Amino acid sequence: MRLYKTRLGIVLEADEQYYPIEATDWDQLINQDNLHEVLQAVTTSVSPSPELHHWLHTDLLAPIGRQEVWAAGVTYLRSRDARMEESQDAGGGSFYDRVYDAERPEIFFKATPERVVDPLGTVRIRKDSHWNVPEPELTLFMTSSGKIVAYTCGNDMSSRDIEGENPLYLPQAKSYDGSAALGPCLYVPGTPIDPHTHIRLEIHRNRESVYDNKISISQMKRQHTELVSFLFRECSFAYGCFLMTGTGIVPPDDFTLQRGDEVQITIDGIGTLVNTVA
Ligand code: DO4
Ligand code: MG
């Protein structure tokens, strides 16, 4: 089942049918450990409305309310290798190598809800950066109790020159206005997501493809529950929390995003998150 937050209301998609959700408070709705059962009950008590489908084309919002967005890093080999290369001159190489193998994962604060961009909205590259990439990441949604109840596509926009200059600049490379995007929906499968799920990143410039790659989430070094347990060790989340799980796709070093590029992140079962770069 997929739950969409739109400017006109909340829509549930189940078995290609669209149901209105009467809940007025998005945060209360999603912060339920039995979210799947709650949504299942809607499909038996409410009549589907095919016209709701149109809301999903023009009026989509990021599926976030008052939650914080956190992110895990260096969870795939490709990410470890790319970071080691970019930070070689700064002597940062061994940090990434060590965190990949360490018991404690890298987890960092990514964005407040205000910094999160809606589907079809514009993600930003920093004005003081010249080497930027999108990071396509499976993103978990956990309730206040730390239960993973939903998944979405996330874009962890990253300034590689700033992060490569010094690992201590990571917060500036990762967190700024328009540095994150989420959507197009919350995917609520009722069971953990299939480990064979693929993530695909496509980048178009002037309507031509300039980058296209994909990876299976089975390539990730860590378990989702492992990342969540570290995040929840010493942080509580009144409305639940989003956690990006790291990128397994990093474009080659001679690639940088340009303003006007279109970024598409597709994850099986969830859909495609489309954003333009500004
Ligand atoms: O350590 C730097 C950031 C890592 C990251 O964002 C990722 O691996 O996705
Ligand atoms: Mg990342």
228-235: which pairs have CB atoms within 8 A and are 24 or more residues apart? 228/140, 228/142, 228/146, 228/148, 229/146, 230/104, 230/105, 230/107, 231/70, 231/107, 231/142, 232/142, 232/146
- Looking at 26, 61, 96, the residue that finishes a domain is 61
Measured in angstroms, how far is the CA atom of residue 72 from the centroid of ligand 1?
7
pLDDT confidence of residue 233: 98
Q: Which atom of ligand 1 is nearest to the CA of 106?
A: 1
Which residue has the least CA distance to atom 1 on ligand 1?
73
Looking at the structure, do residues 53 and 83 belong to the same domain, yes or no? no
Using most ligand atoms within 8 A of CB, pick from 247, 249, 250, 265 the residue to mutate for ligand 1.
247
Nearest C-alpha neighbor of 219 from the set 84, 133, 100: 100
Domain count along the chain: 2
Looking at the structure, do residues 231 and 132 belong to the same domain, yes or no? yes
pLDDT confidence of residue 57: 82
- Looking at 26, 41, 61, the residue that finishes a domain is 61
Residue 161 belongs to domain spanning? 68-277
Q: How far apart are CA 101 and CA 269, in angstroms?
A: 30
Residue 92 banded pLDDT, cuts 50, 70, 90? low
Measured in angstroms, how far is the CA atom of residue 89 from the centroid of ligand 2?
21
Using most ligand atoms within 8 A of CB, pick from 70, 131, 156 the residue to mutate for ligand 1.
156
Looking at the structure, do residues 121 and 233 belong to the same domain, yes or no? yes
pLDDT confidence of residue 93: 65
Looking at the structure, do residues 203 and 82 belong to the same domain, yes or no? yes
Which residue has the least CA distance to atom 2 on ligand 1?
73
Looking at the structure, do residues 196 and 225 belong to the same domain, yes or no? yes
Looking at the structure, do residues 183 and 258 belong to the same domain, yes or no? yes
C-beta of 135 in contact with ligand 1 (< 6 A): yes
Using most ligand atoms within 8 A of CB, pick from 83, 110, 168 the residue to mutate for ligand 1.
83
Looking at the structure, do residues 88 and 170 belong to the same domain, yes or no? yes
Q: Which of 13-27, 84-98, 217-231 has the highest mean pLDDT?
A: 217-231
CATH of the domain at 206: 3.90.850.10
Query: Which pLDDT tens digit goes with each residue over 226-241?
Result: 999 999 999 999 999 9
pLDDT confidence of residue 58: 79
Q: How far apart are CA 276 and CA 206, in angstroms?
A: 11
| Mean pLDDT, rounded, of the chain | 96
For the cut 90, the answer to whether the pLDDT of residue 94 exceeds it is: no
Mean pLDDT of 70-96: 86
Smallest-distance ligand from the CA of 246:
1
Looking at the structure, do residues 56 and 181 belong to the same domain, yes or no? no
For the cut 80, the answer to whether the pLDDT of residue 201 exceeds it is: yes
pTM over cut 0.85: yes
Mean pLDDT of 182-198: 98
Q: Name the more confident of 89 and 5.
A: 5
Question: Is the preceding omega at residue 184 within 30 degrees of 0, hence cis?
Answer: yes
Query: Which pLDDT tens digit goes with each residue over 21-37?
Result: 987 799 999 999 999 99
